[in-house]
Structure 1
Amino acid sequence: MAAKPKLHYFDGRGRMETIRWMLAAAGVEFEEKFLEKAEDLERMQNDGTLLFQQVPMVEIDGMKLVQSRAILNYISTKYNLYGKDLKERTLIDMYVEGIADLNELIMMYSITPPGEKEAKLAVIKDRASNRYFPVFEKILKDHGQDFLVGNRFSRADVQLLEVILYAEEVYPSVLSKFPVLQVFKARISNIPTIKKFLQPGSQRKPAMTEEAFEAAKIIFKIK
């Protein structure tokens, strides 16, 4: 039996979380090796484990993969979550890049100093409500299918649900004007592998707390 993928990162969301989502969506069990102190990261940097001296890193199929987009491309291709042809793959790439832009805003909000949070949240509300979610509402409405691309579950669906749930954490009514996205959220959340990942006790990580951020700053030597 093939070894389970092993994920190397700190015990938090960050740039590893979408990778966790993708493996979970594919029904793949994985192990995690958490960085707990700066020396853990330094050891990996010094022994040649990390190609570009940074995590996330995923051990899978005899490889030590770094760069989150490359990791996600490999996993989604391996587990048939990347469309059936070049056209579908290009659409998926386009959609997930937009999703990633919003995800990045929300990720940075969680580590924004208290005095700057209100302004950052205003940007998230504006971008989610007026730039990103209207696009996906229209895509789904015009496409007329259950999924974003073709009529098959793909990484685009996984990543859109992920960012919807993140946006709702900071702006609970964000989907109030998007009925098609509300239906999409319910449908994708009930796919068995996704439903399992959303249950308490899964390897899904909670939103970043100040305490967790301080621990991460020590590991990554962020001042």
Structure 2
Amino acid sequence: MSGKPRLHYFNGRGRMEPIRWLLAAAGVEFEETYMETKEDLTKLQKDGSLLFQQVPMVEIDGMKMVQTRAILNYIATKHNLYGKDLKERALIDMYVEGMFDLNELFVMYEITPPDKRGQQIANIMDKAENRYFPVFEKVLKDHGKDFLVGNQLSKADVQLLEIILMVEEWKPDILAKFPLLQSFKARISNIPTIKKFLQPGSQRKPRPDDDLMDKVMRIFF
């Protein structure tokens, strides 16, 4: 049996993508089992694999972990991506919770009716540019370091880069007003494990298309 973590989700971003990013940043190889139909989800639910009857689910270190934040916290703690003390961990959690709010808008986009998707994306771009990115620009300015918290990479840095790149897919000039975020993006993107994950052929998932969104609707609804 492989010792690699195994991820159970559909073949797309959703709430699993931050987990993929964090494992990749930690240099951990992982395997994936994709749900293709509603029956695949039902099977996981019926065999007791899903504590709360929902995915994502990650098999890791003999556990079947659910709940995205719990999974991320476990990975971050195990691989020293969760700060050096309680104060740093609190800051990391606070920043990441803000990122989750923004990321959740992208997750909801995947199940938004086609006639409302334009409005949804406009809302996401507005919140990114006027609510969330100004916060992280200020955090970097006030902290004065290469990372959001402390002097080493944390899960907050990894997730912020993921969010930046997702937003840029829709609005390439989104960072025009944020010079420190521009530098942050370049710096974190060049960390070897992350740079590898950003290369073609990695397990990073592409922006969802209509076919994927239709499949997601069939699996979950």
Secondary structure class of the residue paired with 2:33: strand
Q: Residue in 2 aligned with 1:197?
A: 197
Q: Residue in 2 aligned with 1:121?
A: 121
Q: Residue in 1 aligned with 2:180?
A: 180
The 1:163–1:20 alpha-carbon spacing in structure 2 relative to 1, beyond 3 Å, is: same
* TM-score relative to the length of structure 1: 0.95
Q: Give the whole-Å Cα distance in 2 for the aligned partners of 1:141 and 1:189.
A: 19
Q: Residue in 2 aligned with 1:83?
A: 83
Q: Deviations over 1:36-55 (max 9, x none)?
A: 11111111111111111111
Give 1:102 deviation, angstroms. 1.0
Q: Deviations over 1:9-43 (max 9, x none)?
A: 11111110100000000000000011111111111
Q: Residue in 1 aligned with 2:217?
A: 217
- Please tell me the residue identity of whatever aligns with 1:218: R
Q: Residue in 2 aligned with 1:31?
A: 31
Contact 2:111 2:217 in 1 (8 A): no
Give 1:2 deviation, angstroms. 7.1
Q: Residue in 2 aligned with 1:55?
A: 55
Please show how residues 147-186 of structure 1 align to structure 2 within 5 Å: 147-186=147-186
Q: Give the whole-Å Cα distance in 2 for the aligned partners of 1:123 and 1:204.
A: 25
Give 1:110 deviation, angstroms. 4.2
Give 1:4 deviation, angstroms. 0.3
Q: Give the whole-Å Cα distance in 1 for the aligned partners of 2:48 and 2:103.
A: 30
Secondary structure class of the residue paired with 1:58: strand
Contact 2:76 2:155 in 1 (8 A): yes
Give 1:171 deviation, angstroms. 1.4
Secondary structure class of the residue paired with 2:15: helix
- Please tell me the residue identity of whatever aligns with 1:137: E
Q: Give the whole-Å Cα distance in 2 for the aligned partners of 1:109 and 1:37.
A: 20
Contact 1:111 1:210 in 2 (8 A): no
Q: Residue in 2 aligned with 1:94?
A: 94
Give the length in aligned residue pairs: 221
Q: Give the whole-Å Cα distance in 2 for the aligned partners of 1:218 and 1:109.
A: 15
Secondary structure class of the residue paired with 1:108: helix
* TM-score relative to the length of structure 2: 0.96
The 1:171–1:107 alpha-carbon spacing in structure 2 relative to 1, beyond 3 Å, is: farther
- Please tell me the residue identity of whatever aligns with 2:109: Y
Contact 1:37 1:218 in 2 (8 A): yes
Q: Give the whole-Å Cα distance in 1 for the aligned partners of 2:134 and 2:216.
A: 34
Q: Give the whole-Å Cα distance in 2 for the aligned partners of 1:43 and 1:2.
A: 22
Unpaired segments of 5 or more residues in structure 1?
A: none
Q: What percentage of aligned pairs have identical amino acids?
A: 71
Q: Give the whole-Å Cα distance in 1 for the aligned partners of 2:55 and 2:121.
A: 27
- Please tell me the residue identity of whatever aligns with 1:35: M
Give 1:107 deviation, angstroms. 2.9
Q: Give the whole-Å Cα distance in 2 for the aligned partners of 1:172 and 1:112.
A: 23
Instruction: Point out the more displaced range, 167-176 or 15-24.
Output: 167-176
Contact 2:111 2:216 in 1 (8 A): no
Secondary structure class of the residue paired with 1:4: coil
Q: Deviations over 1:41-100 (max 9, x none)?
A: 111111111111111100000000001111011000011000000000000000000011
Contact 1:106 1:167 in 2 (8 A): no
Moved over 3 A (4+): none
Q: Deviations over 1:154-209 (max 9, x none)?
A: 00000000000011111111101000000000000000000000000000000111
